[in-house]
Amino acid sequence: MAVTLWNRIAAALEGEVSADTLEAYQRAGMGVYKQLDEAEARRLECKIEGQDPWSVAANTQAELLCTWNAFVLQTLGDQFLEADYRANPATRGFVPPVTAEQALAFYGEVESWLNRASQAHSNPGFRLTMPLPADLPRWVEVEPCPPAHLEATLEAARAARLHAEAALVVFQEDGLPAEHQPAAQKLRQLAAEAGAKLAYGERLWASNPPRTLHQQIEEHAHRAVERYYHLGQLLAAPILLDTYDPSRPNGGAALSGGGRRLARPGEPGFDPWCLTDPVSRPQWESDPSARNAIRTLWQNDPAPARTLGLQEEIDAALQRGDIEYATGPRGQRLGAFYCCPWAPIYVTRRAVTLGGRRLRASQQFTLDVSAEDMLRGGAFKREVMLGNFSPTDRVDYCDPTTGGHDD
């Protein structure tokens, strides 16, 4: 359908951006759906020939895995684009910037997985060398979550569920050696978990819920599609089950290289000061106002897993050497940002993506987390904040119950 002048005017009034690039990616990746059907046919052929999933040729397992990943990513990109068009047909051909950013994150990885699948199909010696199962690209932060994003994520999860359940057929216990039956049971458990997350999110969404429930629906939809993304990879290459930890964070490849998981509120070992600069932390721990501010911060965080996931990304980048603590002209550490939770000031050593934001080399940044705007009806803030930082004596407890800066 051609973009009309009215589409352009309506999009300009709503601050939307052209979807030309997204539509090009959509067209380029359409072949993945046929490719997935062919891969599933090969999987069934292997079962008919008497091969259990563990004995399938390694390159065929790699092809199945890569095709699955390309399928899920393409489906997510397509659903985000089409859901926006359905929600706002007056701006067809244009999408909100946050929708463009999220869809591009999905589309941007499709070609590399299709390329690997093609290599695996052509070369019996092909092997995948990256950490697996791979995670989805990080979800772009937006509060409240647009209804079209919820609809798109739920629809993508449904498509993933359909194909994952079909793949589970080859793991029927009557056709598996006894030593593989516990693994098959674990796969069915993972499928049940993903299905339960999806079903609960669907039921909430079907009730025409108020916006206050959108956050919960989003969390269930995200977890469902993330679990199905992993499940499809495990079904393709079940040897991955030997080292798979379903409790590790999802949705961010930065942790695939061994980053540590931070305990969530309510879990054993949760550290409310984990966002704070480690050098100045004792100072804040001894300050009653700071202790109250930290407690209030976590009480008001509507999605602490997101906040901690962002900190995990930063920790992993620090561990890899992509970033380091920022220093001043004389080599002294700049220390902590002056606002609660008093996060360190970092500087990038090389280009790196954190929280969905691409940072160039030599950029200073900190983690800005605050509930202060919520008192005025605003959103909870969690973001990578760039700046040119310098030492200061200012202190801001950012406590929404006090209602002021420089408390």
pLDDT in tens, 31-81: 999 999 999 999 889 888 888 888 899 999 999 999 999 999 999 999 999
pLDDT, position 3: 59
pLDDT, one tens digit per residue, over 261-293 is 788 898 888 899 999 998 889 899 999 999 999
Position 255 confidence tier, pLDDT thresholds 50, 70, 90: very low
Query: What percentage of the chain exceeds 70 in pLDDT?
Result: 89
pLDDT, position 2: 60
Q: What is the three-state SS of the chain?
A: CCCCHHHHHHHHHCCCEECHHHHHHHHHCCCHHHHHHHHHHHHHHHHHCCCCCCCCCHHHHHHHHHHHHHHHHHHHHHHHHHHHHHHCHHHCCEECHHHHHHHHHHHHHHHHHHHHHHHHHHCCCCCCCCCCCCCCCCCCCCCCCCHHHHHHHHHHHHHHHHHHHHHHHHHCHHHCCHHHHHHHHHHHHHHHHHHHHHHHHHHHHHCCCCHHHHHHHHHHHHHHHHHHHHHHHHHHCHHHHHCCCCCCCCCCHHHHHCCCCCCCCCCCCCCCCCCCCCCCHHHHHCCHHHHHHHHHHHHHCCCHHHHHHHHHHHHHHHHHCCEEECECCCCCECCECCECCCCECEEECCCEEECCEEECCCCEEEEEEECHHHHHCCCCEEEEEECCCCCCCCCECCCCCCCCCCC
Answer yes or no: is pLDDT of 334 > 80.
yes
- pTM value? 0.62
Answer yes or no: is pLDDT of 143 > 60.
yes
pLDDT, position 135: 85
pLDDT, position 251: 32
pLDDT, position 402: 58
**Quick one: average pLDDT of 356-375?**
87
